Structure 1
Amino acid sequence: MAKQKAVAVIFGNWDESYNELPRWVLGVQLTMPGTVAVLRTCPVRVGAQHDESQAFRHCKPLVSIDGTHLYGKYGGTLLVAIAQDGNSNILPVAFALVEGENAESWSFFLSHLREHVTPQPGLLVISDRHNGIKAALEAPDGGWLPSAAYRGFCIRHVAANFTLTFKGKDARRLLVNAAYAKTEVEFDYWFDILRSENPYCDEGRRFGHMTTNISECVNSILKGVRNLLVCSLVKATYGRLAELFVRKGREAEAQMGTGQQFSQYLVKCIEANLKTARCFTVTVYDRDNSEYTVAETTPTGSFSLGTYRVSLGSQTCDCGYFQALHFPCPRALACCAYSRLTWQPYVHQVYRLSSVFGVYQMGFTPPIPEGFWPPYAGPTVIPDPNMRRAKEGRPRSTRIRTNMDDADPNRPKRCGLCRQPGHTRRSCPQAGRPTGTAGN
């Protein structure tokens, strides 16, 4: 209660913040035409049409979705959709404030995500196995059914649920190894029991993403604002996103000024693969279709490690990495060198600097001052009294804990006051010092 009162003193009234939010959104839409905002009370109001200049068109064709709880005076959940550009930068593309994670709220969020942000066919959605997400993605009119879109499960959540029934670290390790397998033979070797789910056949849609870690990263960044008023939370999220676009845009522009064609992430991967490519012996077995056989040996050339088929025409390799990551593996690079071909045409467009720069080319304009906000004639927005947290007692945690929440036993415990290891808050040498004398 004391924390809620302190937040109210700094940021304003909790209840009035709900009704302030629609006017602030109108101010943002006036500042940045093309901004999509949907306010659903009763009846539903839908915002502007889809803007073809939005950043997601230049990202990898996948999106990671997740929800995180709010901890202010009123409960609720912040739903987020996260993408990634060709330089492995995390990019938030959509947010929604809802009453909780259920089928209705996920349907609301995913339907507008599909309409306004991710209309591309063949999109992959990575999430946990929440029943609300499952119901929303399987809705006949939602636009998320194959072949319009596909779903992939976060392997960390699958492994956490798996170990509840099948105990032991070896079982978990086999499951994770099977999920990360790039070929069907390797998958069958590690865990044949999972064939009914068939997680291997993603046909390269994952771009190497096996978890919802990019969503969890954004959740951790937003942890500090989840205690704020609803309007202050939205303002802080908008401000941090604008700062991200400015910073990453300058980095991409600076890289383009050097004359590079590809992202730093791809250049590092190609350089590492080129070092490995020296251990391959290449022979052509179909020159017309650019198909090769590649024999891998040890660095000394004394032992053979296997033979692979590589097709530059169809951009595939028996190792599975070429088609999974969408840029040449070491074996494909060896084939390019053997035929005196450049490897650049075999790289997916998303890794080009022009695509990375296209993500951040849209500038953010600071919202206009409150006195210039347009008038709002819509319904008065008030918080749901049923979402009000208990007025007395310590709030109960509703989080369902799994082994992902367990602390690392090898990680040293730190003091809650000075964040240094080796002691606790009670025995901290900084405790009791006057303010401003900590560094003396």
Structure 2
Amino acid sequence: MAREIVYGTWESSVQKLPKYMGALKKYNPGTIVEWEHKAFQPSTGAHVIGYVFWAFAPCIEGFQFCRNVISVDGTHLYTKYRHKMLIAAAMDGNQQDLCWRAGSEYQIRKFNRTMEEIKSQNVAAFEFLDKINKEKWTASYDGGWRTGILTTNMSECINGVLKGARRLPLTAIVEITLARTVNYFVTRERRSHAMVANGQLWMDFAYKMFNQWHQKSIDHTVTKYNHRQQSASVVTKRQSGFGLNTHVVKITNRECSCGFSTIVSGRLLGCPGISVGP
């Protein structure tokens, strides 16, 4: 009863939704709203809503700065009609068992080594994993398309943020997603201004990874071959019995024979002898 006093009933909320969405598009240019109706009732002249999709303009514009992976997940709405809400989320620049270790290895030789370890412990487990298309679950065979994102944690996080909203009428859900999206952008705008003022041009996560890779690359040996193509060979440092591997690097194409593909530039920016803008 208290919820209906504050947010209205489900029926009144559905009646209010078209007008609210119209205002949302008018006062937030670039926002997209799409409708799909299941039926039309001639007696009342009413359309029965099948689906409604919305994407806020700042989210659309901001996607170009996100990693190129969209996670789509469904969550149940706790109403008498048992509808579902599909959420599409992307990750911005600031972000174990043997099976996980195998899937998260970026280099094929390391993946194969872990798979052999699995085979030595459980042949059935090895055969089960070996039958699965490697492009679907391993970082070493996905061609870099997932940019290192191996879980659906971002979808689960968004589900958690909207957990309380799932019991509310439809228009109230849209209002809450708008309010929390605005808060997201305002908070990060403040942080980005502070970063620029301090001369920090990368996100915190990127700086952390760069510093880690820089420390590892200090003792790498780099031999440049072609300045225009930014190609070179890199010999890695021996650590704990491993290393002294030679890799061919092409910075312009973001390629490395080590298998790290999409993130090779970040690793090699820290190498002595490699000079390329971030």
* Number of the residue aligned with 1:186: 110
Q: Tell me the distance in 1 between the aligned counterparts of 2:161 and 2:70.
A: 18
Are 1:174 and 1:190, in contact at CA under 8 Å, matched by a contact in 2?
yes
* Number of the residue aligned with 1:8: 4
The letter of the residue matching 1:11 is: Y
* Number of the residue aligned with 2:94: 87
- Is 1:209 the counterpart of 2:149 in the alignment? yes
Are 1:206 and 1:324, in contact at CA under 8 Å, matched by a contact in 2?
no
Q: Tell me the distance in 2 between the aligned counterparts of 1:7 and 1:257.
A: 44
* Number of the residue aligned with 1:284: 223
> Offset at 1:287?
5.0
The letter of the residue matching 2:134 is: N
* Number of the residue aligned with 1:64: 71
* Number of the residue aligned with 2:166: 226
* Number of the residue aligned with 1:297: 238
Are 2:249 and 2:257, in contact at CA under 8 Å, matched by a contact in 1?
no
> Offset at 1:284?
2.4
Q: Which is richer in helix?
A: 2
Structure 1 residues 275 and 46, CA, compared in 2 at 3 Å: closer, same or farther?
closer
Structure 1 residues 324 and 176, CA, compared in 2 at 3 Å: closer, same or farther?
farther
Structure 1 residues 229 and 279, CA, compared in 2 at 3 Å: closer, same or farther?
same
* Number of the residue aligned with 1:135: none
Structure 1 residues 319 and 236, CA, compared in 2 at 3 Å: closer, same or farther?
same
Are 1:59 and 1:86, in contact at CA under 8 Å, matched by a contact in 2?
yes
Are 1:308 and 1:317, in contact at CA under 8 Å, matched by a contact in 2?
no
Q: Tell me the distance in 2 between the aligned counterparts of 1:77 and 1:325.
A: 36
CA-to-partner distance for each residue in 1:237-294, whole Å, 9 max, x for gaps?
A: 11111111111122212322333332222112111222222343x1527456632141
Instruction: Please give the residue correspondences for 1:69-80 in structure 2 after superposition, counting only pairs within 5 Å.
Output: 69-80=76-87
Instruction: Please give the residue correspondences for 1:20-419 in structure 2 after superposition, counting only pairs within 5 Å.
Output: 20-41=16-37, 42=39, 54-88=61-95, 173-191=97-115, 193=127, 194-196=129-131, 197-199=133-135, 200-280=140-220, 282-284=221-223, 286-287=225-226, 290-298=231-239, 305-313=243-251, 314-321=253-260, 323-329=261-267, 332-333=268-269, 336-337=271-272, 339=273, 341-342=274-275, 344-345=276-277, 347=278
The letter of the residue matching 2:238 is: T
What is the total number of aligned residue pairs between the two structures?
248
The letter of the residue matching 1:20 is: K
Q: Tell me the distance in 1 between the aligned counterparts of 2:233 and 2:254.
A: 12
Q: Tell me the distance in 2 between the aligned counterparts of 1:24 and 1:265.
A: 37
Q: CA RMSD, aligned part only?
A: 3.1
Structure 1 residues 16 and 198, CA, compared in 2 at 3 Å: closer, same or farther?
same
Are 1:207 and 1:324, in contact at CA under 8 Å, matched by a contact in 2?
yes
Q: Tell me the distance in 2 between the aligned counterparts of 1:243 and 1:293.
A: 45
Q: Tell me the distance in 1 between the aligned counterparts of 2:57 and 2:10.
A: 33
User: TM-score, length-normalised on structure 1?
Assistant: 0.50
Are 1:179 and 1:187, in contact at CA under 8 Å, matched by a contact in 2?
yes
Are 1:62 and 1:83, in contact at CA under 8 Å, matched by a contact in 2?
yes
* Number of the residue aligned with 1:142: none
Structure 1 vs Structure 2: percent identity of aligned residues? 26
Structure 1 residues 260 and 14, CA, compared in 2 at 3 Å: closer, same or farther?
same
Are 2:254 and 2:262, in contact at CA under 8 Å, matched by a contact in 1?
no
> Offset at 1:304?
5.8
Structure 1 residues 305 and 22, CA, compared in 2 at 3 Å: closer, same or farther?
same
Select which of 2, 6, 13 maps to 1:17.
13
Structure 1 residues 274 and 285, CA, compared in 2 at 3 Å: closer, same or farther?
closer
- Name the structure, 1 or 2, with higher relative contact order (CA <8 Å, separation 6+): 1
Q: Tell me the distance in 1 between the aligned counterparts of 2:203 and 2:265.
A: 12
Q: Tell me the distance in 1 between the aligned counterparts of 2:52 and 2:156.
A: 29
Are 1:294 and 1:310, in contact at CA under 8 Å, matched by a contact in 2?
no
Q: Tell me the distance in 1 between the aligned counterparts of 2:72 and 2:237.
A: 40
The letter of the residue matching 2:101 is: N
User: TM-score, length-normalised on structure 2?
Assistant: 0.77
Structure 1 residues 51 and 279, CA, compared in 2 at 3 Å: closer, same or farther?
same
> Offset at 1:211?
0.6
Q: Tell me the distance in 1 between the aligned counterparts of 2:19 and 2:234.
A: 64
Are 2:232 and 2:250, in contact at CA under 8 Å, matched by a contact in 1?
yes
Q: Tell me the distance in 1 between the aligned counterparts of 2:184 and 2:236.
A: 45
The letter of the residue matching 1:12 is: G
Structure 1 residues 239 and 304, CA, compared in 2 at 3 Å: closer, same or farther?
closer
Q: Which runs of 5+ in 2 are unaligned?
A: 41-49, 116-125
The letter of the residue matching 1:19 is: Q
Report runs of 4+ in structure 1 exceeding 6 Å deviation.
43-48, 50-53
The letter of the residue matching 1:198 is: K
